Amino acid sequence: MTAWLVERLHRGAEQALRAAIEKIGVSDAGELRLSPPTEPSMGDLGMPCHPYAKLLRRAPKQIAEEIAAQTPAFPGLAKVEALNGYVNLRFDMGYVMREGLREAWSADQKLGRSDVYVGKKLLIEFSGPNTNKPQHLGHVRNNVLGLAVSNLLEAVGYDVVRANIINDRGIHICKSMLAYQRFGKGATPASTGRKGDFFVGDYYVLFDKKLREEMETWKANHPNEEIDAEVFFTKHSELGAAAQEMLRMWEAGDPETRTLWEQMNQWVYEGFDATYARLGIRFDWVDYESDTYILGKDVVEKGLAMGIFERRDDGAVVCDLAKIGLEGKKVLLRSDGTSVYITQDLGTAMRRFEAHDPQRMIYVVADEQNYHFQVLFGLLELLETGKGERCHHLSYGMVDLPHGRMKSREGTVVDADHLMDELEAMALERLQEQVQKERERAEERGEDFVAPTDQDIKGRAEKIGQSGLKYFILRFGPQTRIRFNPEESIAPEGETGPYALYSYARINSILKKNYDLTTLPSDTVLDALGTPIEIALIKTLIQFPRAVLEAAEQLNPSRLAQYLFHLAQAFSSFYNDADHNIVKSPEPQREARLALCKAFQKVLRAGLSLLGIDVVEQM
RNA sequence: GCGCCUGUAGCUCAGCUGGAUAGAGCAACGGACUUCUAAUCCGUAGGUCGCAGGUUCGACUCCUGCCAGGCGCGCCA
C-alpha cells in the first residue's frame, strides 16, 4: 500500500528540513516538531528553530532564515518562509487538490486504512455482560467503544480478535434462577412475548423484591436488632440460603440445576444477540466464566514453583505485591483451594495467549477496575516476561444520566434497548416533521411530492438514533466521565451524529439535482478549484488517514469523531456559500466541485463506518 | 491513611512528543431562506487553563506542594 498524500507531504517536509538543518551545521537534528502554524495564512506546516539556538549560538530568527534558504524542494512543496524563528512550509494547493481527490476516488474501500501494523495480532475484550439482566447504559459505552476501537485497530493493519467474556455464573445468576423456579410457573419469553434478557431480568428483580419482603418480616420479629441486607442474605434469609444452595448444586454439576441454568442462559443470549445486532457488533471469540472460573490453578502452581507466590499457613496462596511495586498481599487461591477473580483472569489471559498468540491484548473495562488490571498485568509479567507488557487496560469513565448517577435500587438504570428505542422514536418524530415540511414546500412550487414509505422513514430513524447515541459516546475521550443527554445526542445542530449524517445526505441531493460523477475528472478540470473555502475543505479531507492512525494508536475514537465533525463543518461552509452553488457554477467548476463533493462523501462514510455509524442517503 | 483519575469560557468538552495570539459545541446576542434539504451557514460576546512554587529560550502540557471532586485499596466479581 502506498503512503497517503498527507504522509508523503509530512515525510517530504521532514526529510527536506532535516537536510537543511544539517547543512547549517547541526549534526543531529533530533525529533522535528512539525505542526500547522496557528494562522493558516502563515503556511501549512511549521517548525520552531529555538532548539538549535543554543547549539549554533545564533538567534532562532536567523536560524529560521538560514534553514529556509537551504530547504530543498520536494513534490508538493510550493514555498518556504521564515517567520519569528519558525520555518513555515506552504504546499502547492493545485497539487494537493489533484492528488487528494485522486486518492479519495481511487482508494474507496481502503480509504484511510494503512498497513502500519499489518502482520500483528491483537485481541480486544469488550462488553462482558452478566446473564441475569439486560445490558444497561454502562454496557452501551463499553460496546460502542469496543466496536469503534476494534474497527480502528483493524483499519491500521492489525489482525483483530474481538473477544467477549460472559459472566454466566455466580450467586447473582442463581438469584434469577431461584425466583424463576419458585414463581415462574413455567412461563417463557415465547409465552409472554418478553425479550429473553428482560424476561430473566424480571426474575432477578423479583428475587430482590421477595428478599426485601422477607427481611421486613424478619425485622418486625426482631425489633431490637440492626441488620444490613448483605448480612441478612447470607445469615438469616431462607431465600438467601436457597440461592447459595443452588450455587453449590450448580458447582456440583447437578443435572436439574444445570438444565435450568442452560435454559435461562439461552433466553438471555437470544436477547443479547438482538441487542448486539442492533449495535452492529459481532465477536470472534467468546469466553464463558462458567468455563474460565476453574482456570488459573496451574498458573498458581507455576508461580509457587517459581517462588513468586507463597502458601500461607491457612492454606491460601498469596503474592506479595511489593514484587510489582504495590502494597499488600493478594490472595490467589482461597484457603479452601478455590480460585478468586484474579486467578480466573490470569488463567483466561494465559489461555488466550496460547490460543491466539496476540502481540497485544486490550481489555475494555470501566475505570473502577484500574487497580485490578494493574495487579493482573503485574502478575502476568512476573509469571512470564513480556506477557504483562503486551496487555493494556482501556479504561473508561462512568456514564451518568441528566438526573444523576444510575442506581439500580432507585430504578434510574436505563437499559440499552429502551434507550435506543427512545432515541429512534425521537428521530422518527423529527423526520416526520421534516417530510411534512418538504411536502408543503413541493406543493408551493407545484411539484410532485413522492412521500417516503413508513418503512423507509423508520429505517432512517433507526440509523439517525444510532448515530446520535454512538457519536455522543465517542466524541469524548474514554477517560471522561460523561453525562448522557438523549435530547442533545440526536440534536441536528452541534457536534452530533445527526449533524454529520445530514451533511452526508445533502450530497445525494446535490448529485440528484446535478449528475452523479462516475469517474474522476481530468486534472485540467480539477484545476478549476481554488477558492479559500474549497482549499479549506480539501486540506481537511486529506487529513483523514492521520486521524484514523492517531485514533487507533491512542485507542481514542474521539480523535476521529472530532475530525469528522470538523470535516462536516468544512463541507457545510462550502455548501452554504452562495458562490459555491454547484447548480449555478459554470463548467468546469461545476464538475470539479462535484468531484470534491463525492470525495467528501467517500471520506465521511468511511470515517463514520469506522466508528460503527451507518449513514443515511436522505434525511 | 495509601494509590489512580479529573479540575480549561455560563454549561458540556478538545487541546498530539513542551512551541507562534488557548479551541469547539451548546446556551446568549445579531445576521442569511423566490434553497443544490435553513436538521444549515455567517458573525459578536465570553478564559488570571483549580491554587502556589519550580524546570525551560518557551508551560494548559513536565516536576513538587496544596485545595476540590470521583474511583479504588476483599479469601466479591
Q: Which nucleotide is nearest to A437 (CA to C1')?
A: B37
CA of A398 to C1' of B51 (A): 28
Q: Which nucleotide is nearest to A568 (CA to C1')?
A: B40
Q: A84: helix, coil or strand? A: coil
Instruction: Give the Cβ contact number of residue A24 at 10 Å.
Output: 16
DSSP assignment letter at A323: G
At position A71, the amino acid (one-letter code) is T
Q: Which residue is nearest to nucleotide B39 (CA to C1')?
A: A492
Pair A104, A603: CB distance under 8 Å:
yes
Q: What's the whole-number mean pLDDT along residues A522-540?
A: 95
Q: What's the whole-number mean pLDDT along residues A12-17?
A: 95
C-alpha dist (Å) from residue A419 to A93, A401, A429, A558, A580: 46, 11, 16, 22, 40
Q: Which nucleotide is nearest to A335 (CA to C1')?
A: B75
pLDDT at A522 over 90: yes
Residue listed under C-alpha cell 461545476? A590
Report which secondary-structure segment, H or E, holds A144.
helix A137-155
Helical axes A589-610 vs A532-542, angle rounded to 10° = 30
Beta strand pairing call for A159-166 and A285-288: parallel
Q: Which residue is nearest to nucleotide B37 (CA to C1')?
A: A506
Residue A159's nearest CA partner among A2, A356, A295, A303 is A356
Reading the block at residue A597, the C-alpha cell is 463533493
pLDDT at A79 over 70: yes
Beta strand pairing call for A360-366 and A121-125: parallel
Q: Which residue is nearest to nucleotide B75 (CA to C1')?
A: A334
pLDDT of A405 reads 52
pLDDT of A31 reads 83
Q: Mean pLDDT score of chain A, rounded to an integer? A: 93
CA of A552 to C1' of B41 (A): 32
Report which secondary-structure segment, H or E, holds A431.
helix A416-445
Dist. CA A571–CA A565, nearest whole Å: 10
Dist. CA A558–CA A610, nearest whole Å: 12
pLDDT at A74 over 90: yes
Question: Residues 6 or more apart from A227 whose CB is under 8 A from it?
Answer: A215, A218, A219, A236
Dist. CA A485–CA A462, nearest whole Å: 18
Q: pLDDT tens digit string along A45-61?
A: 999 999 999 888 899 99
Dist. CA A165–CA A17, nearest whole Å: 50
First to last CA, chain A: 36
Q: Which nucleotide is nearest to A577 (CA to C1')?
A: B41
CA of A532 to C1' of B36 (A): 20
Q: Which residue is nearest to nucleotide B26 (CA to C1')?
A: A494
Angle at A581 (CA atoms; ends A577, A585), nearest 5 degrees: 135
pLDDT of A406 reads 47
CA of A386 to C1' of B2 (A): 28
On the 0-12 / 13-18 / 19+ scale of CB atoms within 10 A, A567 is buried
pLDDT of A409 reads 45
Residue A533's nearest CA partner among A592, A494, A575 is A575
Q: pLDDT tens digit string along A461-508?
A: 999 999 999 999 999 999 999 989 999 999 999 999 999 999 999 999
Q: What's the whole-number mean pLDDT along residues A355-365?
A: 96
Of A316-320, A322-326, A402-406, A529-533, least confident by mean pLDDT is A402-406
Reading the block at residue A124, the C-alpha cell is 480486544
Dist. CA A121–CA A452, nearest whole Å: 45
Dist. CA A116–CA A551, nearest whole Å: 13
What is the side-by-side strand order in the sheet with A360-366?
Answer: A285-288, A159-166, A121-125, A360-366, A391-396
Q: Which nucleotide is nearest to A570 (CA to C1')?
A: B41
CA of A367 to C1' of B66 (A): 26
Q: Say what the pTM is.
A: 0.95
Dist. CA A29–CA A69, nearest whole Å: 17
Q: Which nucleotide is nearest to A60 (CA to C1')?
A: B57
Q: A386: helix, coil or strand? A: coil
A462 φ, ψ to 5°? -60, -45
Q: Which nucleotide is nearest to A496 (CA to C1')?
A: B25
pLDDT at A382 over 60: yes
pLDDT of A352 reads 96
pLDDT at A253 over 60: yes
Dihedral sign for Cα atoms in the order A203, A205, A210, A214: positive
pLDDT of A413 reads 62
E strand spans, A171-320? 285-288, 309-311, 317-320
- Total length of chain A: 619
CA of A315 to C1' of B77 (A): 22
CA of A288 to C1' of B70 (A): 32
C-alpha dist (Å) from residue A291 to A286, A360, A380, A392, A540: 11, 23, 20, 23, 49
Reading the block at residue A132, the C-alpha cell is 441475569
Q: Which nucleotide is nearest to A313 (CA to C1')?
A: B75
Question: Residues 6 or more apart from A186 whose CB is under 8 A from it?
Answer: none
Q: What's the whole-number mean pLDDT along residues A7-14?
A: 95
Residue listed under C-alpha cell 469506522? A610
CA of A472 to C1' of B10 (A): 22
CA of A174 to C1' of B25 (A): 46
pLDDT of A224 reads 85
Using CA atoms of A574, A576, A577, A579 in order, give the dihedral in degrees to the nearest 10: 100
Instruction: Give the Cβ contact number of residue A516 at 10 Å.
Output: 10
CA of A499 to C1' of B40 (A): 9
pLDDT at A389 over 80: yes
Which nucleotides of strand B lie under 7 Å from a protein CB?
2-6, 12-17, 19-21, 23-27, 32, 35-42, 57-58, 70-77
Q: What's the whole-number mean pLDDT along residues A409-423?
A: 79
Q: A331: helix, coil or strand? A: strand
Helical axes A589-610 vs A497-513, angle rounded to 10° = 150
Res. A1 pLDDT band, cuts 50 70 90: low
Reading the block at residue A446, the C-alpha cell is 407545484
Q: Which residue is nearest to nucleotide B36 (CA to C1')?
A: A510
Q: Which nucleotide is nearest to A395 (CA to C1')?
A: B5
DSSP assignment letter at A284: S
CA of A188 to C1' of B70 (A): 42
Annotate A325-348 with b (16+ C-beta within 10 A) or e (fewer): eeeeebebbeeeeebbebbbbbbb
pLDDT of A26 reads 86
Res. A443 pLDDT band, cuts 50 70 90: confident
Question: Residues 6 or more apart from A384 whose CB is under 8 A from it?
Answer: none
CA of A563 to C1' of B25 (A): 13
Res. A410 pLDDT band, cuts 50 70 90: very low
A44 φ, ψ to 5°? -100, -30
Q: Which residue is nearest to nucleotide B13 (CA to C1')?
A: A476
At position A160, the amino acid (one-letter code) is V
Pair A611, A463: CB distance under 8 Å:
no
Reading the block at residue A42, the C-alpha cell is 502563515
Q: Which nucleotide is nearest to A566 (CA to C1')?
A: B24
